[in-house]
């Protein structure tokens, strides 16, 4: 037996459903007791696209086409480090199977080996005992089996699922913090769900999602909204946007410039992204049918969005309807982009944060776009891409302000081609604020990057949150509900009250010139905290503001 494109489609859908059904359990495996256990959610949302219309597609082009479509859907929806790693694993598979109609055991191993390579590339210093280890050891076992003569696909997937489970069980022996917490690696556990779902499909018992509307929810969250377009003095009636998965003839970056020039002659407000495998375009035109017809020469359409800006409620012209039918727009439900804008200035900023106060602060600091996200809600790759494309600048700085959003931001930067994207490795809100304060609009790009990196390096971030479960870290027993004090992301102390926890944190600080306190939900003693800090550091300038952030009652910046 060999795996065909339609079989692979069903296997990936089953894997996505298995992961979605189990996401809460995976969340709860988070090694640290802080309320950011979102690994399961991130991995499930990364695969959310293949639980939608993708399930109903027919892949006459074989497994290469199916793998390509699935990988692109996951990359666009990737959230968090675990989601990015998972999406890159499937992207590697798609690259290895690019020319295949069907895949036998040797092809499967070759694809998984490429997937492991792509996933490892995304992590600068891979740590043993994580999802990467589970992927790698499982694949090594599979290769050894195939080299030994295994040629049965079902038997191979059975072996891989078993190898993944055995490796996962060993992760606590590889990472001391896993052993202390009494859990296995959460990302590796999510990957085991993926392998379980694929195997169950091969056995004729594919997994179905227990949440009947989960696919529609995922799509609705990312649906484009063009309702803000003005209907006054519009020269071109139709706001036309589509995404194209390139065919082999146009594979590679910069191969669709002729299409770019073509649509520029048909209208205005043109934004064009020419990625290695995907084209994303936006144009205001009176001839959307011609745009779609021409775009089809470069590959297959997987998202189409057309709005009549003069009359939102009127029907599209016969030309648009006919062209849309020919385009077969009933394709995979990839995330849809909001209307992008053309660069008009030298510098721009996209920053990630949660809380109205923090969003207002970054806006006051001249951030162009605020992406809502943080510990409990990681934005997707496409969320960052869309924010960048809506920033009217030639050079766009992205401030992730969270270590779990860094990899997603870096992947987004690789997708955008019509402007330079610089991802500053800010892992906290204070670091993002300091970076923006160090920015000089009149300075050269390289000088700004250096100045902002230096500013980020001079920030110490303290924060308080609460334990979501009992655990033990570094020999310290932590009880559910206790207040946790964190220094640069590491748990330093615990206490029954937030003020006592902050005092414990400050015992680790030698001195301060500037202290910024961002208080959030549940910070009832903010005045007391500010008074304490001013008393402890009488020569420091202490500023306190309502950040409105969830999860972290206090985020404190020390400089």
What's the confidence (pLDDT) of residue 33? 63
Of 418, 338, 421, 422, give the one whose Cα is nearest residue 382. Answer: 338
What domains are there in the chain, each with its CATH number? Answer: 3-215 (1.25.40.340), 231-327 (3.30.70), 345-457 (3.40.50.510), 460-558 (3.30.1180)
- Cα–Cα distance between 316 and 323 in angstroms, integer? 11
| pLDDT score, position 253 | 74
- Residues 6+ positions from 343 with CB-CB distance below 8 Å: 392, 393, 394, 418, 419
- Give the pLDDT score at 338: 53
Residue 132 forms beta bridges with which residues? Answer: none
CA distance readout (Å), 386 to 77, 279, 370, 381, 421: 12, 14, 11, 9, 12
What DSSP state is assigned to residue 303?
E
**Which pLDDT does position 233 carry in this prediction?**
45
Strands (DSSP E) contained in 403-456 are 420-423
Identify the pLDDT of residue 80. 78
> What is the Cα–Cα distance from 307 to 338, expressed in whole angstroms?
12
Handedness of CA 100, 101, 103, 104 (dihedral sign): negative
Q: SS3 helix, strand, coil % of the chain, rounded to 5? A: 45, 20, 35
Q: Is 555 helix (H, G, I), strand (E, B) or coil?
A: strand
pLDDT score for 375: 63
CA dist 75 and 92 (Å) reads 11
Q: What is the pLDDT of residue 323?
A: 42
Residues 393-417 pLDDT 10s: 999 999 999 988 999 999 999 999 8
Give the pLDDT score at 308: 63
Q: What's the whole-model pTM score? A: 0.66
- Residue in 229, 233, 275 with CA at minimum distance from that of residue 250: 275
Measured distance CA(124)–CA(109) in Å, rounded: 24
For 424, phi then psi, to 5°, come to: -85, 135
- Give the contacts of 378 (CB within 8 A, at least 6 positions apart): 38, 42, 79, 80, 83, 402, 404, 405, 408
Residue 214 phi, psi dihedral angles, 5° rounding: -65, -40
Q: What gap in Å lies between CA 105 and CA 97, rounded to an integer?
A: 12
In a 10 Å sphere around its CB, with 0-12 CB exposed, 13-18 middle and 19+ buried, how is residue 284 labelled? buried
**Contacts within 8 Å (CB) and 24+ apart, 248-254:** 248/98, 249/298, 250/298, 250/299, 251/276, 251/277, 252/276, 253/417, 254/417
Q: How would you write the pLDDT of the chain (559 residues) with one tens digit per residue?
A: 899 999 999 999 999 999 999 998 998 887 666 655 578 988 998 998 898 778 888 998 899 999 999 998 898 888 877 888 899 999 999 999 999 999 999 999 999 999 999 999 877 678 899 999 999 999 999 999 999 999 999 999 999 999 999 999 999 999 887 887 788 999 999 999 999 999 999 999 999 988 643 333 333 332 223 233 334 445 677 767 777 888 888 988 779 889 988 988 888 766 566 767 878 776 778 887 788 888 888 887 756 666 665 543 333 334 433 443 433 333 333 344 456 799 999 999 999 998 899 999 999 999 999 998 876 678 888 889 999 999 999 999 999 999 889 999 999 999 998 899 999 999 999 999 999 999 999 999 999 999 999 999 999 999 999 887 777 777 778 888 899 999 998 899 999 999 999 999 999 998 899 999 999 988 999 999 999 999 999 999 999 999 998 889 999 999 9
Residues 538, 155: Cα–Cα separation, whole Å: 70
Bridge-based pairing of strands 345-353 and 393-399 is parallel
pLDDT in tens, 323-379: 434 333 333 333 444 567 999 999 999 999 988 999 999 999 999 999 988 766 788
């Amino acid at each position: 037996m060999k795996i065909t494109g339609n079989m692979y489609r069903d296997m990936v859908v089953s894997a996505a459903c298995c992961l979605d059904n189990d996401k809460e359990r995976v969340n709860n495996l988070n090694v640290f007791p802080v309320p950011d256990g979102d690994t399961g959610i991130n991995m499930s949302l990364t695969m959310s696209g293949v639980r939608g219309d993708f399930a109903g597609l027919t892949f006459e082009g074989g497994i290469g086409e199916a793998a390509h479509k699935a990988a692109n859907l996951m990359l666009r929806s990737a959230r968090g480090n675990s989601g990015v790693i998972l999406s890159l694993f499937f992207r590697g598979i798609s690259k290895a199977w690019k020319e295949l109609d069907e895949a036998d055991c040797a092809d499967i191993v070759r694809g998984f080996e490429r997937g492991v390579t792509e996933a490892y590339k995304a992590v600068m210093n891979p740590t043993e005992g994580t999802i990467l280890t589970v992927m790698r050891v499982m694949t090594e076992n599979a290769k050894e089996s195939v080299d030994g003569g295994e040629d049965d696909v079902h038997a191979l997937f059975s072996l891989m699922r078993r190898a993944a489970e055995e490796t996962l069980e060993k992760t606590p022996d590889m990472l001391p913090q896993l052993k202390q917490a009494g859990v296995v690696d959460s990302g590796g556990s999510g990957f085991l769900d993926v392998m379980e779902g694929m195997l169950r499909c091969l056995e004729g018992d594919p997994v179905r999602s227990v949440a009947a509307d989960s696919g529609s929810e995922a799509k609705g969250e990312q649906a484009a909204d063009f309702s803000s377009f003005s209907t006054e003095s519009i020269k071109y009636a139709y706001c036309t946007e589509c995404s194209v998965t390139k065919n082999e003839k146009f594979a590679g970056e910069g191969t669709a410039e002729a299409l770019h020039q073509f649509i520029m002659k048909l209208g205005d407000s043109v934004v064009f992204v020419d990625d290695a495998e995907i084209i994303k375009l936006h144009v205001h035109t009176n001839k959307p049918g011609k745009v779609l017809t021409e775009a089809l020469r470069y590959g297959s359409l997987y998202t189409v969005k057309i709005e009549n800006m003069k009359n939102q409620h009127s029907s599209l012209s016969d030309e648009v309807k006919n062209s849309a039918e020919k385009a077969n727009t009933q394709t995979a439900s990839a995330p849809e982009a909001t209307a992008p804008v053309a660069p008009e200035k030298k510098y721009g900023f996209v920053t990630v944060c949660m809380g109205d106060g923090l969003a207002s602060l970054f806006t006051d600091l001249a951030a162009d776009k605020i992406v809502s996200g943080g510990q409990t809600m990681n934005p997707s790759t496409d969320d960052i891409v869309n924010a960048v494309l809506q920033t009217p600048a030639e050079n766009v700085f992205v401030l992730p302000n969270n270590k779990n959003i860094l990899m997603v931001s870096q992947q987004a930067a690789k997708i955008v081609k019509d402007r330079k994207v610089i991802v500053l490795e800010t892992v906290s809100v204070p670091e993002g604020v300091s970076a923006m304060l160090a920015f000089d609009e009149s300075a050269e790009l390289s000088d700004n990057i250096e100045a902002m990196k230096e500013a980020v390096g001079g920030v110490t971030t303290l924060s308080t949150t609460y334990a979501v479960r009992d655990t033990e870290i570094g020999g310290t027993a932590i009880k559910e509900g206790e207040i946790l004090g964190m220094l640069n992301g590491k748990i330093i102390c615990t206490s029954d009250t937030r003020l006592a926890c902050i005092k414990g944190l400050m015992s680790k600080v030698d001195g301060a010139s500037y202290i910024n306190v961002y208080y959030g939900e549940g910070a009832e003693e903010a005045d007391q905290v500010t008074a304490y800090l001013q008393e402890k550091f009488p020569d420091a300038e202490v500023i306190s503001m309502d950040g409105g952030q969830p999860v972290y009652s206090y985020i404190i910046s020390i400089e």
